[in-house]
Amino acid sequence: MSSEASSSRSASGSPAPSGSGESSRSRSASPFNPSAPEPSTSNKTFEDLGISKELCQACKSLGFKKPTDIQIESIPPALEGKDIIGLAQTGSGKTAAFTLPILQSLWENPQPFFALVMAPTRELAYQISQQVTSLGSGIGVRAATIVGGMDMMSQSIALSKRPHVIVATPGRLMDHLENTKGFSLKNLKYLVMDEADRLLDMDFGPIIDKILKVIPKERNTYLFSATMTTKVAKLQRASLNKPVRVEVSSKYSTVETLLQHYLLLPLKSKDSHLIYLTNELSSSSMIIFTRTVNDSQRLSIILRRLGFPAIPLHGQMSQSMRLASLNKFKSGGRSILVATDVASRGLDIPLVDLVINYDMPTNSKDYVHRVGRTARAGRSGKSITLVTQYDVEILQRIESHIGKKMVSFDVDKEAVNVLNDTVNKANREAALEMRESGTGGAGGKRGRDNGQGHGKRGLDDDRDRDDDSYQAGIPQKKGKHQGKVNGNGRSNKFSNAGKKQRR
C-alpha cells in the first residue's frame, strides 16, 4: 500500500484493521497537533498513571507538566505488562509514552540490553536516545545510539559497556548482531518500533524480520505508527501478543496557528522566487524542504553565495556533518536549513518561523510532517509551498486531505525578474563547486561520508536505508537502464539494488 493511500484511509476516519485478541482504548484529540504534544484536557498527573516518584521528577525537570492523551491511554496498560499498539502522529508525546514504562520496569529489575528502540532515521534515533537519557538520568540509565554513517568500532565499544537501552536504525543494528563479538539481544525484555509505518515504507521489512528471529519471543512489544497500513498490521500480527490498542487521532491535520500559503509560479523561475522569499522574510528562521539531495546541496550553496546563512541537511552527508548542521540550526548559528525529508519527521526543532516547500511533497502525510516543524506548542508559524504548473493537482489533493484551503502568497513579479541574472550566475557557480567537490550532483561521486573517519563500512552502509537516494529518488546517471521513479518518489532501480545488497 502506498503512503498516500494509507494516509487517505486514515483521513477518512475509518477504523484501522486490528489483530485477533486486540483490545481497544481509543481517544479522539481534535484538532490534533502533529508537531508538539497536545495538552490533555484530563487533570491526571504522571503519578496518577502509576509512574514512580523518581521518574515523575524527571518529567517535571524536562517541562512535562501533565501527561498527553497518548501517555494517559498507553502508560497504565504498559505498566501492567501488556503489549501496545499506539496510533499517534509525530509530536504527540509518544517517546515518553513508551520510555517511562520501560524505565520503571528497568528500575525494578536492572539489567543490560533491557530494551531496544528501532527508528527509521538516524536523527530521530539520536533524539529518542537523548530523551531516554534525560528521563533516566535520575536512575542512572545508560543508552547507546547505533546508526549508520558512524564508526563501527566506536559503536562496538559502546555496546561492550552493556547499556540498558539501545536506540538504533535496523540496518546498522543487524550489522552489529552479525559482526560484533559478544553482542547479543537474547535477554531483551522490551522492543519498541517507533514510526513503524515509516520503517516499513523504507523497506526495512526483511531486516526487521531477521531481528525478530534473534530476540526472545517472551518480551513486551510496543508498536507506534502514524497509520495502520497493511504492512504494519502484518507486523503487528507477527510480533505482538494480545495488544492493547491506543489511538489518539484518526486524521492528519495542521494546527490553527499555522498560516498556510501557496505560490503559483512557472518552473523556470522557481529559484528566483525562492531567493525573493528568502530575502523578503530574512528575519525569520526557516527550513526549506527539497525532494532531492542535489537540490538541497545546490540551493544551500546558492544561498550562501548570495549572502544568506544557509546550511544543508541530507542523507548523503556524513552522519557527523548531519548532526553538526542540525545543531548549528538549532543553536541559531545558521538561520536557514535546506533539507530533504530527513528533517521532516519526528525532529523537535524549536523556534522555526517559516517552512518553505521548494518541492511539493509526494503525499499529504509528508506535507503535514514538513509544515509541522513550525507553529509548535501553541506558537504561530507560516508555510509557503511553491507550486509549478505541474503541481496543481497535488496541491488540490493536499488541501482536500487537510480540510483547508491555502492562501495565495503575493510577490512583486518585477522584483523577482530583477533577480534572474544574479540567481542564474550563482546557480552556475554552485554547479561548478558541486562538480569539483563531487557532492550531490547527478553522475558525480556520491559524497556520502567521503570516507572520513568512518573506515570502509562508512563508505558502504548498505543496510542503513536512512538514505535520500532511496527516500527522494535522486536523479543519477545509470544509462538506459535508469529506473523510473514510482509514486512514493523512489526509484525502482534503487529499490531493486537495495534488495540485492541485503541478500
The answer, yes or no, to whether residue 491 has pLDDT greater than 70, is no
Decide: 7 and 34 in contact? Cβ < 8 Å.
no
On the question of a cis peptide bond just before residue 34, with omega within 30 degrees of 0, the verdict is no
- Rounded distance between C-alpha atoms, residue 219 and residue 390, angstroms: 50
The answer to whether residues 165 and 69 belong to one domain is yes
Using DSSP's 3-state secondary structure scheme, residue 423 falls into helix
| Domain end marker among 380, 405, 437 | 437
Please check whether residue 443 lies inside any domain of the structure: no
Looking at the fold, whether 48 and 137 belong to one and the same domain comes out as: yes
pLDDT value of residue 501: 40
Query: How many alpha carbons lie under 13 Å from residue 103 in its C-beta half-sphere?
Result: 29
Do residues 205 and 348 both lie within one domain?
A: no
243 and 266 inside one domain: no
Same domain, 366 and 315: yes
Q: pLDDT digit string (tens) for 178-191? A: 999 999 999 999 99
Q: What is the mean pLDDT of residues 238-252?
A: 81
- Least confident range from 47-51, 168-172, 363-367: namely 363-367
- In the chain, the amino acid numbered 279 is N
Enter the C-alpha cell of residue 485. Answer: 521513479
What is the number of other CB atoms lying within 10 angstroms of the CB of residue 405? 11
Considering the domain architecture, whether residues 224 and 262 belong to the same structural domain is answered as no
Q: Which domain holds residue 289?
A: 258-437
Residue 118, domain member (yes or no): yes
| Averaged confidence pLDDT in the chain | 81
Residue 423 and residue 497 in one domain: no
pLDDT value for 478: 41
- Does residue 128 register a pLDDT over 80? yes
Length of the chain in terms of residues written: 503
Q: How many domains is the chain partitioned into structurally?
A: 3
Q: Which of 223, 247, 271 represents a domain boundary (last residue)?
A: 247
Query: Looking at the structure, do residues 381 and 480 belong to the same domain, yes or no?
Result: no
Question: Is 252 contained in some domain?
Answer: no
In a domain? residue 446? no
SS3 per residue for 335-372: CEEEECHHHCCCCCCCCCCEEEECCCCCCHHHHHHHHC
Does pTM surpass 0.75? no
Count of C-beta atoms within a 10 Å radius of residue 486:
13
- Judgement on whether residues 386 and 472 belong to the same structural domain of the protein: no
Q: Contact 336/288 with Cβ under 8 angstroms?
A: yes
Any domain includes 450:
no
Coil, strand or helix at 277: helix
Q: What is the mean pLDDT of residues 203-226?
A: 92
Q: Are residues 322 and 355 located together in one domain of the fold?
A: yes
> Interhelix angle for 364-371 vs 392-402, to 10°?
70
Whole-angstrom Cα distance, residue 51 to residue 180? 36
Q: Which residue has the higher pLDDT, 302 or 446?
A: 302
Res. 490: pLDDT tops 70: no
Q: What angle do helix axes 319-331 and 122-135 make, rounded to 10 degrees?
A: 60
In terms of domains, do 317 and 431 share one?
A: yes
Highest mean pLDDT among 9-23, 100-114, 241-255, 307-321: 100-114
Helices (H) and strands (E) in the chain, counts: 19, 15
Residue with cell 538506459: 480
Q: Is 447 among the domain residues? A: no
Kindly state whether residues 322 and 376 are assigned to the same domain: yes
Look at residue 195 and tell me if it is in a domain. Answer: yes
Q: What's the CATH number where 325 sits? A: 3.40.50.300
Q: Are 365 and 226 in contact (CB under 8 A)?
A: yes
Residue 8 domain flag: yes
Q: Which residues pair with 222 in a beta bridge?
A: 84, 192
Asked if 342 and 472 touch (Cβ cutoff 8 Å), the reply is no
**63-76 residue pLDDT tens:** 888 898 899 999 99
Distance of CA 259 to the CA centre of its chain: 23
Among the candidates 247, 279, 303, a domain finishes at 247
